[in-house]
Amino acid sequence: METHAHDLHKAPGHGWKHYFFEFFMLFLAVFCGFLAENWREQLAEHNHEREYIHSLVEDIKADTLLSNKVLISLNRTMTRIDSLMDALSSPEIINNSNNAFRLWNKSLGFADFIYNDGTIQQLKNSGGLRLIRNKAVADSILKYDLIVRNFYGQANLMNNALADQHIYSQLFDFIGLNKNKNIPVPLTEQGKKLLNEAYANRKVWSYGMSILIERLKDVNKEGKSILAFIKEQYQLE
């Protein structure tokens, strides 16, 4: 039997519908693969987001606990500074500087607050903030970080001021005070001339300490606020 060309052209399975079906199935397979990959990426990002949030919550919890303790210490230091200023303004100090010396020693420095910023720095430096889908939470994280940085700005000023202790070193007779802790020791002759300057110095230090305390209170308050907000938004216990 003779086979004609137009009969081959109409062979079953090779019409345009067949090619369209094959194209459609290929497109569907690629599209489904794309959706699956996109879903996997979103799932991975959501898991990373949850990990960041849990880590952040633990960091801020630690911050809040520490800021509570440091605030107690700073308030005690502030009380000593007030007592020191009373001692410096008393006529008795000229002949008996023992109490003022003791109070000055106890109010020289201040307790440190160590910021647990590991998670926040990772979020900022690695672009991880984009994983925080809740914009209000992301904004609150940045706000908290700024408040802590404001505290550290004041703390740095206070630490720099600690380097200058020329008044303290000239005001008291260190040798006499260390040898005669229970016997009244007068101010040095130079100290008597610097008494007003010493009072002004401690007044400025007191003002700086009050700012430091208020800024740490802000850290503590914002830390508690963001913890409650994150737990609410992410339904955490």
pLDDT averaged per 10 residues, the chain (length 237): 49 59 62 55 60 89 96 96 96 95 92 91 77 86 94 95 89 91 91 95 95 97 94 82
Specify the pTM. 0.80
Predicted local confidence at residue 147, as pLDDT: 97
Predicted local confidence at residue 163, as pLDDT: 84
Predicted local confidence at residue 182, as pLDDT: 84
User: What is the DSSP secondary-structure string of the chain?
Assistant: ----HHHHHT-TT-SHHHHHHHHHHHHHHHHHHHHHHHHHHHHHHHHHHHHHHHHHHHHHHHHHHHHHHHHHHHHHHHHHHHHHHHHHTSGGGGT--HHHHHHHHHTSS--------HHHHHHHHTTGGGG---HHHHHHHHHHHHHHHHHHHHHHHHHHHHT--HHHHHHS-HHHHHH-TTS--PPPHHHHHHHHHHHHHHHHHHHHHHHHHHHHHHHHHHHHHHHHHHHHHHT--
Determine how many CB atoms are found less than 10 A away from the CB of residue 22. 10
